[in-house]
């Protein structure tokens, strides 16, 4: 079932004019922002299909940048997002992509940051499937399939025996139910990405505990159902662990 509940049909509350080109784009942008863990210094955004054909008219550019600022779909600041992004030091570039994507409304975001002496980069591909609902289809070259309607744990690790069992054991002990789960790897014993969509939010302590598991390099939580942690939109619900 692509559409999971009543509020994926009636809802979201949003700033117009298009649920797929505006609200969906905002949610894709916000997913990328929360996964990145902070405001990026640079955001390269490529639109495909109907997104590429009509993004200016629909305000897709404005909405996706609103998402990068960690705003919800009905945030009244959305019409001014491009200006506010400049003020916050985020350099945004838009491109029109070519090539065959399986869905007509697709956006690819490349976020970069140099802060804290460490260069970081994140690539996220998402599609807007209608009514403001999204599917994130790729993270840094890993194939995923998630909707953003659940608190979502994104875990980078090595493709070693037992890692997934250790992660799910933390879930079992904390009585956190896993709604959906996917694993992808770049090669046998190579880099892997596990994504868990959860039925309930998870505590910082548990995120830290997962970060301690051998071979796990980073753990991020994305929760699009909650308003941003503070006015500056600095998301605090993220935790990184270096092995």
Partner 1 sequence: MNFRTLDELSALCESRGLSIGKLMVEEQSAESGRDAGLEFRTMADYFRIMKEAVQRGLTEDTTSRSGLTGRDAQRVMEFGRGGELSLGEHAGNAMAYALAVSEINASMGRIIATPTAGSCGIIPGVFVSSQERFGWSDEHMVYGLFAAGAIGYVIANNSFVSGAEGGCQAEVGSAIGMAAGALVELRGGTPKQAMHAVGLALKNTLGLICDPVGGLVEIPCIVRNGFGSVTALAAADMALAGVRSVIPSDEVIQVMLEVGSAMPEKHRETAGGGLAQTPTGKAIMSQLRKKK
For the beta sheet containing 42-48, the strands, ordered from the edge strand earlier in sequence to the opposite edge, are 91-96, 42-48, 105-113, 120-130, 133-139, 142-146
In the complex with partner 1, the residue whose CB is nearer, 167 or 198, is 198
Cβ proximity to partner 1, 121 vs 199, nearer residue: 199
DSSP 179-202: EEEEEEESSTTSEEEEEEEESS--
201 binding partner 1? (CB under 8 A): no
Per CB under 8 A, the list member of 42, 79, 94, 211 interacting with partner 1 is 79
Q: Per-residue contact track with partner 1, 159 to 198, x per CB under 8 A?
A: ----------------------------------------
15 lies in the binding site for partner 1 (CB under 8 A): yes
Strands (E), 114-225: 120-130, 133-139, 142-146, 152-158, 178-185, 191-198, 216-222
Paired tokens of 164: 């997934």
State which of positions 81-140 bind partner 1 (CB under 8 A). Answer: 103-105, 128-132
Give the nearer residue to partner 1 in terms of CB position, either 88 or 200.
200
| Three-state SS at 33 | helix
> Of 76 and 187, which CB lies nearer to partner 1 in the complex structure?
76
Residues that bind partner 1 (CB under 8 A): 1-20, 22-23, 49-50, 53-54, 56-59, 74, 76, 78-79, 103-105, 128-132, 199-200
């Amino acid at each position: 079932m692509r559409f999971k509940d009543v509020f994926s049909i009636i809802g979201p509350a949003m700033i117009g004019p298009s649920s797929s080109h505006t609200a969906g784009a905002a949610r894709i942008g916000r997913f990328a922002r929360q996964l990145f863990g902070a405001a990026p210094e640079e955001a390269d955004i490529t639109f495909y299909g109907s997104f590429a054909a009509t993004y200016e008219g629909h305000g897709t550019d404005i909405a996706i940048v609103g998402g990068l600022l960690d705003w919800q779909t009905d945030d009244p600041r959305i019409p001014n997002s491009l200006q506010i992004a400049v003020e916050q030091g985020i350099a945004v570039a838009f491109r029109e992509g070519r090539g065959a994507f399986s869905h007509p409304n697709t956006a690819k975001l490349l976020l970069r940051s140099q802060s804290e002496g460490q260069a970081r980069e994140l690539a996220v591909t998402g599609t807007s499937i209608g009514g403001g609902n999204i599917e994130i289809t790729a993270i840094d070259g890993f194939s995923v399939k998630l909707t953003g309607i659940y608190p979502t744990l994104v875990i980078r690790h090595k493709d070693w025996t037992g890692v997934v069992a250790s992660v799910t054991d933390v879930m079992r002990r904390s009585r956190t139910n896993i709604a959906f789960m996917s694993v992808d790897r770049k090669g046998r014993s190579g880099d892997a990405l596990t994504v868990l969509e959860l039925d309930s939010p998870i505590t910082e302590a548990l995120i830290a505990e997962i970060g301690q598991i051998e071979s796990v390099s980073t753990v991020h939580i994305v929760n699009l159902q909650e308003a941003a942690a503070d006015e500056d939109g600095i998301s605090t619900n993220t935790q990184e662990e270096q092995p």
